[in-house]
Amino acid sequence: MGKKVIIIDDSRTVRDQVRLVLEPAGYEVLEAGDGNEGINQFRDHLDLAMAICDVNMPGMTGIGMLESLKASGLGRGLPIVMLTTEGQPALIQKAKQAGARGWIVKPFKPEQLLATVQKLAGTA
C-alpha cells in the first residue's frame, strides 16, 4: 500500500466516499468516527502522511481534536485538512490557528480531494 491517510468523520458515508477516491490512487485509508478515535489513530500510526477531518462530530469535534493534537505534540507537522459543511470565516480561522492546513466544503468534488491529498501528502 501507499501512504497512509486518515479520514476522521462521524459519517460512514463520507468515510466511504473518501476511501473510494483515495484507495484507487494508491493511498492506504484509515478511519475514525470522532476526534477521540482520531487521536488514538495518531498514537497508533506515527507514519501517517496526512489527515482529513470533519468539524462537527459527537464526542470531540474536529477543532477540539486539532487543539488536543497541538497541545500533546502528536501529529506535529502533519498536514490536516478540514472536510465539512461549515464555511464561516471565523470557524476557518479557528481551525487554521489550531493547525489545519486546508478547508474543503462538502459535498466535495473527488478530483479536488485527490489533488489536495496529492499536494499535501505526496503521491502515493
Quickly count: other Cβ atoms within 10 Å of residue 111's Cβ: 9
Tens of pLDDT, residue by residue over 36-73, are: 999 999 999 999 999 999 999 998 999 999 999 999 98
What pLDDT, on a 0 to 100 scale, did the predictor assign at position 75?
Answer: 84
* DSSP labels, 3-18: -EEEEE-S-HHHHHHH
pTM listed for this prediction: 0.94
Asked if pLDDT for residue 30 goes beyond 80, the answer is: yes
What pLDDT, on a 0 to 100 scale, did the predictor assign at position 123?
Answer: 79
What pLDDT, on a 0 to 100 scale, did the predictor assign at position 124?
Answer: 60
Q: Where are the extended beta strands (E) located within 19-96? A: 28-32, 48-53, 80-84
Backbone angles phi, psi at 118, to 5 degrees: -60, -40
Contact between 52 and 6 under an 8 Å Cβ cutoff? The reply is yes
Give the three-state DSSP class for 33: coil
The mean pLDDT of the chain is: 93
Q: What would the mean pLDDT of 7-24 be, rounded to a whole number?
A: 97
Q: What is the CATH number of domain 4-121?
A: 3.40.50.2300
Tens of pLDDT, residue by residue over 91-117, are: 999 999 999 999 999 999 999 999 999
What pLDDT, on a 0 to 100 scale, did the predictor assign at position 77?
Answer: 87
